[in-house]
Structure 1
Amino acid sequence: MYRGKSVAVVLPAYNEEGFVGDVIREMPGYVDRIYAIDDRSTDGTWEEILEAARADANAERPASRSREGEVADRLAVDGGTSALAARAAVRDPIGRVVPIQHRENRGAGGAIKTGYLAALADGTDATVTVDADGQMDLSQMPRLLDPIVEGEADYAKGNRLCFREYRSAMPRFRFVGNAILTFLTKIASGYWKTMDPQNGYTAISGEALEAIDVENLYEYYGYCNDLLVKLNVHGMRVADVTMPAVYGEEESSIAYSEYIPKVSTMLLRNFLWRLKTKHLVLDFHPLALFYLVGAGLAATSVFAVGLTLFAAVAPIETAVQGSSILLLFLGGLAFLLFAMVFDMGESEHLEMQVQ
């Protein structure tokens, strides 16, 4: 328990032998549950999870044992019909660790989804996501939990981009990709002040977890970005928590040449879904129309440029058409900027920064 609230940690692991055991053993004592998800690893990750769970259970952690058995009992009620049972095999808890093994590899987002489903079944007050590679400073966890426990936020996430040493340690291509996805996530989610959306060190309240559609969360690496969009539609408050990154010997398995276009496409779909759901279906706000009109005018101007380039017209006609196309493009840009300003104002009360 942390300040009177139950805390669970979702620990996704894929080929993290040599790292995941240390993360489990070093988990703070106030954590009640650790959902350790093996995403069908091909190394000794599963065995290391079980060994670390036994070592953790033998340690003196009275606070973490207060709810022993609840997860297994609740999951057993659903039997084979539950979404969790259909995607993973859940073993009986070993101390506070619940070992979960995927029936097939589902990716980082898929493992997070499995852990969230388990946390929902257990009725946890706050659920933290921690990578199994040891890159997350566990001593920083209270800074993620405090905004939730104090009722100031429904979701808290780390922000590493404010640290120069983190930015300078990034390969140039990765830094550019991160900057692009950060900007696209701002547009898609409506959280314009939130930075470092790819950061997987997060905490979410039980109420927020119940509000979003966990079973339809994105299962690729862009699950963090996808989650922000869903949180905004439900009016959830987000805390951006400044914290440093931890560097070790682990290597990223993300292929950025595939990751960036794939997540960008997902964000475009999510952006259109957010406009439709939040600003047209659930409520009406003119920013949706500004976005649509602006995009339409800009697209029309681009199409007109193409026609002009391939059409054989007189120089005077070309000049006239060029002026019209420019006005069309500038008009579309103005509509888009107005829409963004409205969007910032709409979600400003849902964002907070924790230094």
Structure 2
Amino acid sequence: MRIAVAIPCYKVTQHVLSVIAAIGPEVEAIYAVDDACPDGSGRFIEENNRDPRVRVLYNPENRGVGGAIITAYKAALADGMDIVVKIDGDGQMNPALLPLFVRPLRRGQADYTKGNRFHRPESMQGMPPVRLFGNAVLSFLTKLSCGYWNVMDPTNGYTAVRTCVLAELPLDKLEQRYFFETDMLFRLNTVRAVVKDVPMDAVYADEESHLKVSRVLPEFLRKNCSRLWRRYVYNYLVRDFNVGSLYSLCGALLVFMGTLFGAWQWIVSSSTSHPATSGTVMLAALPILIGIQCLIAFLHYDVSNIPTEPLSLSLQRQVDDSNP
């Protein structure tokens, strides 16, 4: 398979050449994307790089890490590449791990692989506590919104993807900044692509992070809620109507009715000074309890409903059937 590497370049002139030099011979093309870098990363690479595999791409304006990777994805699709691996240019992702990310894609075991710094306790020793807690919270939100309950560390940018799967995604609709990795998982779930984690250690170089937690946290929360709702409507109401749909609708209806009835009886009791009878309390509590059980059953169904057959295999069978 033809393998390409995508490197978003924004203020990475101190490390990007060493990252390029560490990329192994199994890679056929390297796309370095200058995302309107004020340091002139693209020009710096062109003047100092001697690797013939490197091709510098320029974004006319700063589009964020997602916008840079989308530019590289489109170039890889145009050049007929089979796999694209995304490696940051700041030295925090070891290019020697690239074969680990590519192997499940080559073997037909996955459509998309991503790094997981939480797989081993030793991997988290260098991670700041605030970042550790934030990643744990974001991981749970992403499991809810994207449906990949088997993955962790959703903001990890060390990824690899089959280009035949990329061709099925609306690349121009993907988020272009820090929510890119999460939105990518959401889009992959809509096409039922298989995602696998690749264990890796956390590495922190001397590069300054451009991510401000106080600014992106409300944005992440809002967009995760949006993806959760869209995934539910698409997977359980539009594309399919299954037992999970029944669990969720019945559960939400019972909880709503029990809460509404209980609130009304509480208002009546407060205004008349007559306490509610035990039967009235049970009429309010029973629908809520049953509804919660239905919602738990829906959650269990959703956890077991993660994609298991790689989309790339299905696409290959379609090609084989059309070309006997």
TM-score (norm 1): 0.77
Deviates more, 1:13-22 or 1:166-175: 166-175
SS at match of 1:169: coil
Task: Please name the residue that 1:7 is paired with.
Answer: 3
1:226-279 deviations in whole A, cap 9, x for unaligned? 111221221211121112222321232211122232122222222222222233
Inter-partner Cα distance in structure 2 for 1:152 and 1:193: 14
Deviates more, 1:203-212 or 1:265-274: 265-274
Kindly indicate whether the alpha-carbon contact (under 8 Å) linking 1:20 and 1:48 is maintained by their aligned counterparts in 2. Answer: no
Task: Please name the residue that 1:346 is paired with.
Answer: 305
In the superposition, relative to structure 1, how do residues 345 and 37 fare at CA in structure 2: closer, same or farther (>3 Å)?
same
Task: Please name the residue that 1:41 is paired with.
Answer: 37
Task: Please name the residue that 1:137 is paired with.
Answer: 94
Kindly indicate whether the alpha-carbon contact (under 8 Å) linking 1:8 and 1:126 is maintained by their aligned counterparts in 2. Answer: yes
1:266 aligns to 2:223 (yes or no): yes
The offset of 1:223, in angstroms, is: 1.3
1:137-156 deviations in whole A, cap 9, x for unaligned? 11111011011111111111
Inter-partner Cα distance in structure 1 for 2:199 and 2:141: 21
- Let me know the Cα RMSD of the aligned residues: 2.7
1:303-329 deviations in whole A, cap 9, x for unaligned? 788888988443724988776655454
The offset of 1:298, in angstroms, is: 5.0
The offset of 1:172, in angstroms, is: 2.8
SS at match of 1:127: strand
Kindly indicate whether the alpha-carbon contact (under 8 Å) linking 1:129 and 1:202 is maintained by their aligned counterparts in 2. Answer: yes
1:154-173 deviations in whole A, cap 9, x for unaligned? 11111111232443433333
- Counterpart of 1:208 (choices 142, 145, 165) is 165
Task: Please name the residue that 1:336 is paired with.
Answer: 295
Kindly indicate whether the alpha-carbon contact (under 8 Å) linking 2:34 and 2:40 is maintained by their aligned counterparts in 1. Answer: no
Task: Please name the residue that 1:55 is paired with.
Answer: 50
Name the amino acid aligned to 1:230.
R
Name the amino acid aligned to 2:93.
M
Deviates more, 1:230-239 or 1:323-332: 323-332
Q: Which runs of 5+ in 2 are unaligned?
A: 311-324
Report the number of matched residues.
308
In the superposition, relative to structure 1, how do residues 106 and 348 fare at CA in structure 2: closer, same or farther (>3 Å)?
closer
Spell out the pairing of 1:253-292 with structure 2 (5 A cutoff): 253-292=210-249
- Counterpart of 2:143 (choices 186, 197, 200) is 186
Inter-partner Cα distance in structure 2 for 1:200 and 1:43: 22
- Counterpart of 1:97 (choices 44, 47, 54) is 54
Name the amino acid aligned to 2:303.
M
Spell out the pairing of 1:106-255 with structure 2 (5 A cutoff): 106-255=63-212
Inter-partner Cα distance in structure 2 for 1:316 and 1:171: 53
Inter-partner Cα distance in structure 2 for 1:308 and 1:251: 57
Kindly indicate whether the alpha-carbon contact (under 8 Å) linking 2:127 and 2:202 is maintained by their aligned counterparts in 1. Answer: no
Inter-partner Cα distance in structure 1 for 2:133 and 2:187: 25
Spell out the pairing of 1:15-94 with structure 2 (5 A cutoff): 15-52=11-48, 54-56=49-51
Name the amino acid aligned to 1:228.
L
Q: Which runs of 5+ in 1 are unaligned?
A: 57-94
TM-score (norm 2): 0.84
Kindly indicate whether the alpha-carbon contact (under 8 Å) linking 1:174 and 1:256 is maintained by their aligned counterparts in 2. Answer: no
Name the amino acid aligned to 2:28.
D
Name the amino acid aligned to 1:43.
D
In the superposition, relative to structure 1, how do residues 179 and 322 fare at CA in structure 2: closer, same or farther (>3 Å)?
farther
